[in-house]
């Protein structure tokens, strides 16, 4: 880099002297001598700055590479020498090199800033061996080893805390700024930063399998999966260069014959064409923008597994959600206990917990969890399941019945307060008298509503909810969330069918995203145009199955991802159209003799540098 810069500076100084010598002719030397000195200086400056380019061009011709930029620049500048446009020839080469220098500086810089964005790779692990601590590369640590993580250090490998408590900064993985607490027996993931306490960790995964390696791998390889736009531009540039070179030939040869004007003028125009014929600005800025976008997303805890998926996200018009675990917490909890006057709510819960204590159903488990005390099995005299209705047990001397409304009807109870609530209602009868009900439901996530609204704002036309739950529950949830369509009582295979149906009925251009928890909806994730898994931190299966992985369990991140995607695509299109407009503009102008070679150099390298700088914006 330094050598290159030095060459550019020296060449530029010589070039300036050559230009100025004519203007400040102090010694009154005769004009012929001056122009000879000038030519020598121009050639010297050209050789200093352009020798490398010409050398490469010659080597590449032997390799059969004709349309590479070195070759084009060499022809253009040597041609300019030939038609005696000396300052032009040197200036074009000089500015080309300055542009190249800036370009490679900008690319290095953007590579670096993207890398630092994902600077979660741990450098070392403190391995505990016989009570002593040794610094090792994380790669050398084996499963079962004990490592120590001090405050301020990165957790190098996945494992279980065996000693100490501390707060963890998980922001590098999740984008979440609130620290998380860990204590003994908690799982701990690599890539987190230990904030205050000293932790001893038993390693559970080798470095290559650890969360941090997996995430880095994923993000670093994401740009290998190319977006359609990128492939299009690559293809376009393959034809662009030969076409422009061909046009240059036509311009140099045909108009002078027809119009019988000065041939040199047309050759100059043709050479200008050659300068503009390099497709670099187009080709360089597209992958840079995409990678910046992927980097920006990963900073927010959203892993996009390929440039193609980042592109598709911006075209998403249908968002299909799985309900449980995605829009709702996926944890069933007792929300409410409604007792009849004669009964005590605590007793109601206690008896219901006893009554259901032999069942493993999630509903029973949540009642037992809400009760929270040990079940004394001796108190249960008898327990009998009534299929599809509930359970009738004898607790102490009381007959307790817990179940749905059908069970209550079967017992011919009176004064039943049949309720319409979101969730599952467990009716309880004690000694053949209706005692009240317990409402168990899955809570809607706090940001679900905002997520749906944000998606609408971000351009999603249709939002759909799929659930295996019954219609009532689904509709109650939707009263709050207001999605456009709800399909309930679906078996896992029905979900795939529904998504296929939606895919069939949409137009080709709009894309369908499916959002699930990634654990039992892998087939649907795979079938959708874009599969998005949520709450994936620590779940390898989810990371594996999805195209876009959201590390936290906030559905509002989907809209964030779409915004990043839109912004990235906007930048990509800006760059492409800017480059094309400038290039085509210069081509037209120079065909009519209105643009100089200087303008052409700007159209080539200036545009490239501006496009690279513009692609930086996708990082934020």
Partner 1 sequence: MKKNYILEDLDCANCAAKIEEGVKNIEGVTECSVSFVTEKMIVEIEEGKEKEVEKEIKKVVKKIEPDTTLKEA
What are the catalytic residues? 322
Distance CA 128, CA 49 (A): 57
Q: Which stretch binds partner 1 (CB under 8 A): 58-66, 78-86, 388-396, 460-468?
A: 58-66
Name which of residues 68 to 97 contact partner 1 (CB under 8 A). 68-69
CB 605 within 8 A of CB 96: yes
Identify the residue among 153, 176, 209, 220 touching partner 1 (CB under 8 A): 220
Query: Which residues contact residue 12 at a Cβ distance below 8 angstroms, ignoring those fewer than 6 apart?
Result: 45, 49, 94
Conformational region of residue 426, where left means phi above 0, alpha means psi within -120 to 50, and beta covers everything else: beta
Burial of residue 217 (number of CB atoms within 10 Å: 0-12, 13-18, 19+): exposed
Q: Which stretch binds partner 1 (CB under 8 A): 205-213, 220-228, 379-387, 478-486?
A: 220-228
Pairing of strands 125-129, 146-149: antiparallel
Distance CA 260, CA 425 (A): 95
Q: Which stretch binds partner 1 (CB under 8 A): 15-23, 37-45, 277-285, 478-486?
A: 277-285
Identify the residue among 283, 303, 429, 609 touching partner 1 (CB under 8 A): 283
Please tell me whether residue 359 binds partner 1 under the rule CB under 8 A.
Answer: no
Alpha helices in 63-85 (DSSP H): 69-82
In the complex, least distance from residue 52 CB atom to partner 1, rounded to whole angstroms: 10
Count of residues that bind partner 1 according to CB under 8 A:
29
Q: Which stretch binds partner 1 (CB under 8 A): 55-63, 346-354, 369-377, 475-483?
A: 55-63
CB 264 within 8 A of CB 314: no
Distance CA 553, CA 516 (A): 10
Name which of residues 93 to 132 contact partner 1 (CB under 8 A). 104, 107, 110-111, 114
Query: Which residues contact residue 83 at a Cβ distance below 8 angstroms, ignoring those fewer than 6 apart?
Result: 264, 267, 268, 271
DSSP 176-197: --S-EEE-TT-EE-TT-EE-SS
Give the largest CA-CA distance in the chain: 127
Please tell me whether residue 279 binds partner 1 under the rule CB under 8 A.
Answer: yes
Which residue's CB is nearer to partner 1, number 428 or number 612? 612
Which residue's CB is nearer to partner 1, number 280 or number 532? 280
Identify the residue among 29, 58, 59, 594 touching partner 1 (CB under 8 A): 59
Distance CA 37, CA 39 (A): 6
Please tell me whether residue 63 binds partner 1 under the rule CB under 8 A.
Answer: yes
Helix (H, G, I), strand (E, B) or coil at 221: coil
Distance CA 529, CA 520 (A): 18
Identify the residue among 128, 180, 225, 506 touching partner 1 (CB under 8 A): 225
Which residue's CB is nearer to partner 1, number 111 or number 482? 111
Please tell me whether residue 4 binds partner 1 under the rule CB under 8 A.
Answer: no
In the complex, least distance from residue 544 CB atom to partner 1, rounded to whole angstroms: 16
Distance CA 355, CA 495 (A): 35
Please tell me whether residue 137 binds partner 1 under the rule CB under 8 A.
Answer: no
Please tell me whether residue 548 binds partner 1 under the rule CB under 8 A.
Answer: no
Q: Which stretch binds partner 1 (CB under 8 A): 64-72, 163-171, 250-258, 438-446?
A: 64-72
Residues that bind partner 1 (CB under 8 A): 56, 59, 63, 65, 68-69, 104, 107, 110-111, 114, 220-221, 223-226, 234, 237-238, 278-280, 283-284, 287-288, 290-291
């Amino acid at each position: 880099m330094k050598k290159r810069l030095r060459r550019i500076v020296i060449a530029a100084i010589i070039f300036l002297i050559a230009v100025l010598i004519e203007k400040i002719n102090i010694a009154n030397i005769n004009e012929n001598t001056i122009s000879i000195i000038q030519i020598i200086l121009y050639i010297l400056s050209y050789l200093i700055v352009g020798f490398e380019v010409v050398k490469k061009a010659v080597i590449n011709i032997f390799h059969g590479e004709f349309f590479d930029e070195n070759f084009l620049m060499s022809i253009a500048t040597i041609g300019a020498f030939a038609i005696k446009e000396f300052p032009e020839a040197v200036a074009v080469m000089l500015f080309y090199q300055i542009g190249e220098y800036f370009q490679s500086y900008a690319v290095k810089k953007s590579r670096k800033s993207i890398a630092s964005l994902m600077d979660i790779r741990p450098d070392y692990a403190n391995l505990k061996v016989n009570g002593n601590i040794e610094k090792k590369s994380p790669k050398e640590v084996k499963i079962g080893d004990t490592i120590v993580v001090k405050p301020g250090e990165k957790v190098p490998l996945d494992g279980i805390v065996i000693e100490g408590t501390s707060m963890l900064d998980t922001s590098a993985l999740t984008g979440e700024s609130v620290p998380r607490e860990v204590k003994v027996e908690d799982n701990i993931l690599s890539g987190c930063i230990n904030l205050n306490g000293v932790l001893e960790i038993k390693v559970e995964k080798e470095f290559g399998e650890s969360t941090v390696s997996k995430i880095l791998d994923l993000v670093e390889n994401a740009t290998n999966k190319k977006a359609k736009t990128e492939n299009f531009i690559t293809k376009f540039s393959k034809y662009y260069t030969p076409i422009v070179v061909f046009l240059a030939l036509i311009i140099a040869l045909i108009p002078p014959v027809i119009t019988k004007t000065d041939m040199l003028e047309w050759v100059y125009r043709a050479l200008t064409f050659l300068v503009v014929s390099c497709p670099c600005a187009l080709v360089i800025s597209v992958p840079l923008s995409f990678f910046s976008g992927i980097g920006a997303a990963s900073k927010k805890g959203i892993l996009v597994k390929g440039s193609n998926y980042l592109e598709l996200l911006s075209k998403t018009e249908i968002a299909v959600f799985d309900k449980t675990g995605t829009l709702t917490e996926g944890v069933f909890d007792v929300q409410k206990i409604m007792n009849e006057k004669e009964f005590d709510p605590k007793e109601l819960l206690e008896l219901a917990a006893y009554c259901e204590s032999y069942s493993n159903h999630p509903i029973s488990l949540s009642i037992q969890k809400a009760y929270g005390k040990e079940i004394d099995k001796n108190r249960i005299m008898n327990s009998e399941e009534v299929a599809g209705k509930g359970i009738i047990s004898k607790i102490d001397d009381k007959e307790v019945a817990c179940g749905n409304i059908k069970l209550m009807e079967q017992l011919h109870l009176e004064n039943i307060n049949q309720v319409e609530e979101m969730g599952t209602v467990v009716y309880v009868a004690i000694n053949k008298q209706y005692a009240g009900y317990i409402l168990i439901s899955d809570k809607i996530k706090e940001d679900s509503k905002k997520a749906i609204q944000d998606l609408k704002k971000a351009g999603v036309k249709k939002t759909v909810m799929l659930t295996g739950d019954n219609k009532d529950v689904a509709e109650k949830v939707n009263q709050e969330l207001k999605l456009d369509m709800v399909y309930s009582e679906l078996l896992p295979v029905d979900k795939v069918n529904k998504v296929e149906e939606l895919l069939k009925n949409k137009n080709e251009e709009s894309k369908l995203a499916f959002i699930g928890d990634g654990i039992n909806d892998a087939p649907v994730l795979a079938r959708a145009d874009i599969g998005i898994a949520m709450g994936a931190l620590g779940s390898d299966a989810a990371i594996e199955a999805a195209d876009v992985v959201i590390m936290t369990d906030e559905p509002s991140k989907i809209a964030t991802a779409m915004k990043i995607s839109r912004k990235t695509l906007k930048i990509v299109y800006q760059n492409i159209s800017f480059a094309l407009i400038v290039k085509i503009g210069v081509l037209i102008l120079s065909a009519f003799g209105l643009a100089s070679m200087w303008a052409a150099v700007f159209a080539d390298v200036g545009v490239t540098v501006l496009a690279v700088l513009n692609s930086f914006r996708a990082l934020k």
